[in-house]
Structure 1
Amino acid sequence: MNAKIHYCHPGYVPSASKIFLVAFSEDVSLSSVKFKILDSDSREVYKGATEKICRCAYTGEFLYKGFFTAVTAPGRYQIVLDDFDVKSHWFEVSDEWLVRELKANIKSFYYQRSGVELPERLAGIWARPVAHLDDKLEFHPTMERAGLWNAHGGWYDAGDYGKYIVNGGVSVATLMLGCELMQAHSQKSSIVGGTAFKETYELPVSLLDEIRFELEFFLRMQDEDGGVFFKVTPYRWDGFVTPSESDASQKRYILGKSTSSALNFAGALAQAHHVYANVDREFAEKCLFASIRAFLWAEKNPEVDWPHNTEGSGGYGDSDLGDDFFWARAMLYRELKNVESIADVGVAGMLERMESQLLVDMDTYLPTYGLQWRSTQNLAWFALATTDCKWKDRARMAFKYTADEILHLQNEDPYGLSIRKFIWGSNGDIANHALTLYLAYEWLDDLKYRNAAMEQIEFIYGRNPVDVSFVTGSAWSSPKFPHHRISHSDGVEAPVPGLVVGGINEDRQDTHRNPHYMGESRGMSYADEQCSFASNEVAINWSAPLTAALLLLSV
């Protein structure tokens, strides 16, 4: 009888529940499994027995659940099953592992920077020279437009070298959501921005500065008429080469304008006005004006489709833009309500128009369990929940009802998950669900929501069927071969740290590449191989909710 222990590989927070699972491939006909917890001196500090829970529908495992919540003293520990001669790797009980992972997640965005040098003193062994300046780009031939455009900076989106407004928009908005809540708790100087953050965590810049690097790229992507270009793309997909090799081998282009890119831009830049108002007022006002111009362009051009071009980069096509209008409208409504004079921004009458449409939006686009680039309405509800308006309580209760649904699903799942299908980027969904749960905790002050959010994070960090801590560099089990061009081509054995991979994906869209998935069942649909783009790619919109959740759970 082979037993496996599924647990959070980096560790557990002292004040939180400490859950692990014991899994068998066959029914061992036991009502419980005895376990003990050893400290770093191999002394027994706790002993108990697991409870039998069920046979997992998506793995076929027979599962037992154990708790050692009473172990709160900081230190290194190990779970031991004497009856089966099985023990876990060592893990921590401390708050520090969350802080370390927060630092690594934030710095992963720095490693995704385009168009700048990453010097060794800041990037360490993952240093690289400047590449993809993108400051004099031609327009893609399909646009039939002459001239050059400056689209310098920004983050590479995922495992490729494309830079996208749509996915970038939801990513920076998610990060700023976390920053907003920290600012509300007067913790900006030590967590979100300022020199204390830089010195404490040894980051190149603060989180706000890192977000601004992407926002500056956004501002460069706005056309003179207020519309926003869709993406920066190579003509064809790059191989697994360095940014410099990519730069030398083919041209990059500005591609398209669309309603979706304008709305993502408008929503993100309106939120930036809120977040940076007390940090850099001039920059905040620049963001607000740019947001208004983009939103007005989208109102005049509500059905400009995304450029159907996937020859060199991802698509990010969206057929329903109502949620994006809701997001941009609600964020602008929040900001315009608080400007000193509506005439100052030249949009008299805009608030009244927005109020009538927001009523329709709220009835049409209820909160989802978590943000996705195709479903952005949670950002709209967040805007309404954080402004002094007549819908504030309605918005907060909407999040409560959504969080309660997540809790119900979570309580029915043996791994404590609220997702019911492992899709492409399932770890991003899980992190987003954790973020929704945290919002309910923020406004209701009920610890059950915070604890549930922490359980979702623990799944990402190892308490899962495949025994992988899905963030590079986070544990002994973390991915070694992510689908990430920089990590593959830089000549460094270890991948760039702090990147969350997509995770278990039962659809396995990459079987033609012959990855070696960890089992036949849908819950084992993961392969730590570079070829497995369906389960092992990275993306900023998966890293963003994990970063925001870690930011909020670490304080």
Structure 2
Amino acid sequence: MRPIPTALLLGLILLPARAQAPTDAIRLNQIGFYPNAPKEAVVTGPPAEDTFHVLRVATGDTVYTGTLGPSRHWTLSGESMRRADFSSLRTPGAYVLDVPGLGRSHAFVINEAVHRPVAVAALKGYYFQRASTALDAAHAGIWARPAGHPDDRVMVHPSAASPARPAGTILAAPRGWYDAGDYNKYVVNSGISTYTLLALYEHYPALATALKTNIPESGNDVPDVLDEALWNIRWMLAMQDPHDGGVYHKLTTPGFEGAVMPHQATQPRYVVQKGTAATLDFAAVMAQAARLYDDFPSTFPGLADSLRTAALAAWHWARTRPDIPYVQGAMNQAFDPDIHTGEYGDSNLSDEWAWAAAELAVTLEADSFLTVASPLDAAPDVPWWGGVRMLGWYTLLHHRQALAAALDTNSLKQRFLDFAGTLASARTPYGTVMGHEAGHFVWGSNSVAANQGMLLMQAFRLTADSTYLWAALSNLDYLLGRNATGYSFVTGYGDRTPMHPHHRPSQADGIAAPVPGLLAGGPNPGRQDGCTYPSTLAARAYVDDWCSYASNEIAINWNAPLVYLAAAIEATLAGIAAPTSHEPDDLGAVLPPRLLPPYPNPAREEARLPFVLPVPEEVRLEAFDLLGRRVAAWPARTYPPGRHHVTWSLAGLPGGLYLIRLTSGARAYTHRLLKVQP
């Protein structure tokens, strides 16, 4: 059955069922639900009876009646609540939930592609964060704005001075995304953010390609998610010192700008101190990006090679400077001007080493990186900007077939699933994974929910066990309204959404509605901003106020896992890239066509050249020597989905390095094979 356009269903939210104002006593996903997935709401306050009803919006007639679950109390929100489960209602349409004595919920839809608009909007949020360019009305609508921060005359701060670039040197580092509600650009936070968007394409290429966001690059032969990520990658490349490979920690003004538009923010800007965390995060992202942009050699000629070169240069810089933290207070004691913007300081760099090693090992097909920093040296945990080890695990698990000889991938997988299983089994009275520990409610707590969901989707990809899928979906429900604040935390998506986020363009543009598609930080009992909150309880410590940068700011590292989570669930439940076995990527169900590493390698007399196809496709295999001469070719033919290989006899070939190329449509994939003499 073709999905009904969500916009059309939302357009059906009219009288009579809509005549009542929605009550805050019913919390649910304000966007909606998939027909064949769980559907739950949480009811707070005493109902008049034990039943609830689901009404069709257009007519007001009752289509489902159910019984509320038992009352449960949640200390972190100070509430008693009952859950309403209407999972067996599967008919697409627009509905409200009615609880006698309490009222009616926000309207929602049931639809096969229900979260596609959220995924698109959250990805489009990065376009609205672009620096160094004007946003025109054709792409930004009412949020069009003049260009700000060309960043073509950025000064080298004394903390970043080197013989080749002394203090005061002028350099250019344009593009990139504004990091959060402020106008600065930070390599460390860009690292996890860019990785996550690239991982969406690597893990779910069909769905990622289908996400059209109406950006200036839309319509080329590159998925919008890769075009958007490249806007930031090109800035990151400019943050590497070409003389030594080190990477500046951030590009920043000395202090935060006021609530003005980007073109009105004119403080001088600096690149500050090179550090090991920034350099390793950079190395990881460049290595990851190299293997993905390799798919588009005609659109981006030479880009993948440049990214690999940059990644290696950063790695070599870090190897000679393995533990240089960024400590802003100490820096300010030694150098002028003082810098008082976001620190992103990190005293434990072992996770950055592990992540960079994993990405370089996979991209360069060299397990020596894993001997420098083993990914197995620490326990798994939900990633965040200061804890990125798990990003390396995701990459190693995704490419585990190619790494089996270099790494105990069975142990890696089992340790990961043990952790994911514990996470999936822990639920709050709201039925969400998010919030089952008080420690989840920190600055940017909504990114905790989204990153938990991303992690659980990796477990689902490994096992096809729906336990993980429904656990991940519970956290998307949390972000979109099934939480103790009653907010859908994504601007513009839901009935009750943040209207006053701590986001300078949204505050200064004179438009009532904030820029859409941005994820607010979420409940934070630390309340570091000193604003007045309606509650200090952990799960409710949120206020929709510009003042509240501790709970209501936006940030690129919060939006990224939201993009991934919404899109990954959409890919699975809307029928794109859905796993078909207990080892889905073994048969290519979630991989693009891919040439796998040849084996044995080195080889003496013959080698196997394996590859994976997700759909029936014509492919061509060729081998070249280092002078570019073709030394072997296999006839182009159409193969069925699955894993295949051809056997290459090396008899008569001299010893040396050969390049294997698989061509599939307009894309080409390469691997290296070393032949040694018998």
TM-score in terms of structure 1 length: 0.90
Q: Structure 1: how far apart are the matches of 2:367 and 2:78? A: 56
1:543 aligns with 2:562: no
Comparing 274-283 with 483-492, greater Cα deviation is found at 274-283
Structure 2 match to 1:389: 403
Structure 2 match to 1:410: 427
1:365 aligns with 2:378: yes
1:52 aligns with 2:66: no
1:443 aligns with 2:467: no
1:231 aligns with 2:250: yes
1:493 aligns with 2:521: no
Structure 2 match to 1:166: 188
Structure 2 match to 1:428: 447
SS of corresponding position for 1:296: helix
Q: Structure 1: how far apart are the matches of 2:126 and 2:28? A: 27
Q: Residue by residue, what CA displacement relative to the aligned partner does 1:157-194 show, whole Å, maximum 9, x if unpaired? A: 000011000000010011111111113xx555424899
Q: Structure 1: how far apart are the matches of 2:37 and 2:322? A: 47
Q: State how 1:261-300 maps to structure 2 within 5 Å.
A: 261-280=278-297, 282-300=302-320
Comparing 388-397 with 319-328, greater Cα deviation is found at 388-397
With over 3 angstroms needed to count, the CA separation of the structure-2 counterparts of 1:307 and 1:220, relative to structure 1, is: farther
Q: Residue by residue, what CA displacement relative to the aligned partner does 1:493-548 show, whole Å, maximum 9, x if unpaired? A: 1100000010011111122xx33x22242222000000011100000000000101
Q: Structure 2: how far apart are the matches of 1:166 and 1:373? A: 7
Structure 2 match to 1:110: 127
Deviation at 1:15, TM superposition (A): 1.7
Structure 1 match to 2:502: 483
SS of corresponding position for 1:315: coil
TM-score in terms of structure 2 length: 0.74
For residue 380 of structure 1, the aligned residue among 357, 371, 392 is 392
1:10 aligns with 2:31: yes
Q: Structure 2: how far apart are the matches of 1:193 and 1:36? A: 37
For residue 347 of structure 2, the aligned residue among 319, 322, 331 is 319
With over 3 angstroms needed to count, the CA separation of the structure-2 counterparts of 1:139 and 1:519, relative to structure 1, is: same
Q: Structure 2: how far apart are the matches of 1:428 and 1:33? A: 35
Q: Residue by residue, what CA displacement relative to the aligned partner does 1:194-234 show, whole Å, maximum 9, x if unpaired? A: 99x947xx9x9711100011001011111021000111101
Letter in 2 for 1:190: A
Deviation at 1:97, TM superposition (A): 3.5
1:302 aligns with 2:314: no
Letter in 2 for 1:313: T
Deviation at 1:353, TM superposition (A): 3.6
Deviation at 1:317, TM superposition (A): 0.1
Q: Residue by residue, what CA displacement relative to the aligned partner does 1:429-487 show, whole Å, maximum 9, x if unpaired? A: 00000001100001101111111101101001000111000000001200000001111
SS of corresponding position for 2:393: helix
Q: Structure 1: how far apart are the matches of 2:424 and 2:398? A: 23
Letter in 1 for 2:361: Y
Q: Structure 2: how far apart are the matches of 1:412 and 1:439? A: 25
Moved over 3 A (4+): 141-144, 186-189, 191-195, 309-312, 411-416
Deviation at 1:355, TM superposition (A): 3.6
Structure 2 match to 1:79: 97
Q: Structure 1: how far apart are the matches of 2:214 and 2:304? A: 17
Deviation at 1:85, TM superposition (A): 4.4
Q: Residue by residue, what CA displacement relative to the aligned partner does 1:24-51 show, whole Å, maximum 9, x if unpaired? A: 2xxx599x72101001211111001111
Letter in 2 for 1:365: A
Structure 2 match to 1:526: 542
Q: Report the identity percentage.
A: 32
1:98 aligns with 2:115: yes
Letter in 2 for 1:494: A
Structure 2 match to 1:465: 484
Q: Structure 1: how far apart are the matches of 2:145 and 2:24? A: 44
Q: Structure 2: how far apart are the matches of 1:115 and 1:439? A: 35
Kept in 2, the 8 Å contact 1:409–1:418? The answer is: no
Q: Structure 1: how far apart are the matches of 2:223 and 2:136? A: 13
Deviation at 1:411, TM superposition (A): 6.2
**Unpaired runs of at least 5, structure 2:** 1-22, 162-166, 333-337, 572-678
Matched residues, number = 523
Structure 2 match to 1:509: 528
Structure 2 match to 1:348: none
**Unpaired runs of at least 5, structure 1:** 338-350
Q: Structure 1: how far apart are the matches of 2:44 and 2:384? A: 32
Higher helix share: 1
Kept in 2, the 8 Å contact 1:441–1:450? The answer is: yes
1:336 aligns with 2:364: yes
Kept in 1, the 8 Å contact 2:31–2:494? The answer is: yes
Q: Structure 2: how far apart are the matches of 1:194 and 1:212? A: 16
Letter in 2 for 1:148: I
SS of corresponding position for 1:52: coil
Letter in 2 for 1:529: D
Higher strand share: 2
